[in-house]
């Protein structure tokens, strides 16, 4: 019944944060592959062994921040208003992400986030680690579709992989443009149009694609 999680717990959280922060700072300054985990451990004033007790692999020092997003689509589908189609809820949620410049949509150009995004996209092992989240997102979304929309097994899995792939593609495109120098505010209208086009494609199929390029 205590509001505070105890000293031990708090210390763990601080250590976790300290390691993560030291890592990102060093990576942003010198590059992911140019910094060894030993250097990160030293900067965080922690032994290498302890670092690996908090993060299972070097890549997780960077991508653990994205772990929350793994189940985001599934949560949106579960929490959708009554009588609303899953795809509608997902589209509205994605558009809201664009409006709010949620980094997950790729439409955030704060220098720190931008540099981090570029680093991830330029580092194959980090991209590979991100794919795991994608796979997790597919599984979670498929389950949500099955449980809340009575979607049959196969259809749920297929719909999930399509939806996740499309969202990922949209985000990656935005990230690519923004890290290439296009301001987020300038990209915004195009990003909205692209997202609407993409969700229309998902809804209506590839046979009769909408006019818009």
Q: Is 156 exposed, middle or buried (0-12, 13-18, 19+ CB in 10 A)?
A: buried
| Interface with a copy of itself, residue 137, by CB under 8 A | no
State yes or no: residue 82 binds DNA (CB under 7 A). no
Should residue 131 be labelled a site residue for DNA when binding is judged by CB under 7 A? no
Query: Closest distance between a copy of itself and the C-beta of residue 123, in Å?
Result: 13
Among 28, 43, 53, 200, interactor with DNA by CB under 7 A: 53
Say whether residue 131 binds a copy of itself (CB under 8 A): yes
Element (H, E) at 194: helix 184-204
Indicate whether 66 belongs to the interface with a copy of itself (CB under 8 A): no
* Phi, psi of 116, rounded to the nearest 5 degrees: -65, -45
* CB contact burial 80-91 (16+ within 10 A = b; e otherwise): beeeeebbebbb
Shortest Å, Cβ 22 to a copy of itself: 26
Dist CA 199 CA 213 (whole Å): 14
Which listed range, 9-17, 44-52, 101-109, 125-133, lies at the site for a copy of itself (CB under 8 A)? 125-133
Does residue 176 belong to the site contacting a copy of itself (CB under 8 A)? no
| Residue from 17, 38, 67, 135 in contact with DNA (CB under 7 A) | 38
63 and 120 in contact (C-beta within 8 Å)? yes
Is residue 56 at the binding interface for a copy of itself, with CB under 8 A as the rule? no
* Residue 15 makes contact with DNA by CB under 7 A: yes
Candidates 157, 179, 180, 189; binder of a copy of itself (CB under 8 A) is: 157
Residue from 70, 51, 104, 86 nearest 159 by CA: 86
Q: 201 φ, ψ to 5°?
A: -60, -45
* Minimal distance, residue 56 CB to DNA, in Å: 6
189-197 contacts at long range (C-beta below 8 A, 24 or more positions apart):
191/98, 191/105, 191/106, 191/107, 192/95, 192/98, 194/170, 195/91, 195/94, 195/95, 195/98, 195/170, 196/91, 196/95
Residue 47, contacted partner among DNA, a copy of itself, none, CB below 5-8 A by kind: DNA
Pick from DNA, a copy of itself, none: which does 17 bind, CB < 5 to 8 A by kind?
Answer: none
Binding site for DNA (CB under 7 A): 6-9, 11-12, 15, 35-38, 45-50, 52-54, 56-59
């Amino acid at each position: 019944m205590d509001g505070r999680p105890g000293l031990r717990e708090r210390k763990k959280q601080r250590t976790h944060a300290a390691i993560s922060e030291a890592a990102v700072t060093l990576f942003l300054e010198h590059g992911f592959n140019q910094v060894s985990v030993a250097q990160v451990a030293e900067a965080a004033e922690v032994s290498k062994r302890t670092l690996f007790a908090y993060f299972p692999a070097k890549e997780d020092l960077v991508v653990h921040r994205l772990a929350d997003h793994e189940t985001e689509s599934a949560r949106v589908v579960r929490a959708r208003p009554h009588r609303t189609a899953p795809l509608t809820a997902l589209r509205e949620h994605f558009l809201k992400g664009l409006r709010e410049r949620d980094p997950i949509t790729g439409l955030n150009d704060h220098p720190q986030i931008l540099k981090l995004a570029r680093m991830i996209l330029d580092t194959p092992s980090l991209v590979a680690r991100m794919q795991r989240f994608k796979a997790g997102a597919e599984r979670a979304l498929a389950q949500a579709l099955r449980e809340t929309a009575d979607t049959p097994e196969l259809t749920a899995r297929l719909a999930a992989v399509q939806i996740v792939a499309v969202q990922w593609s949209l985000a990656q495109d935005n990230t690519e443009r923004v890290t290439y120098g296009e301001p987020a505010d300038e990209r915004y209208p195009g990003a909205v149009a692209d997202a609407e086009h993409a969700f229309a494609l998902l809804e209506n199929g590839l046979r009769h694609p909408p006019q818009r390029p």
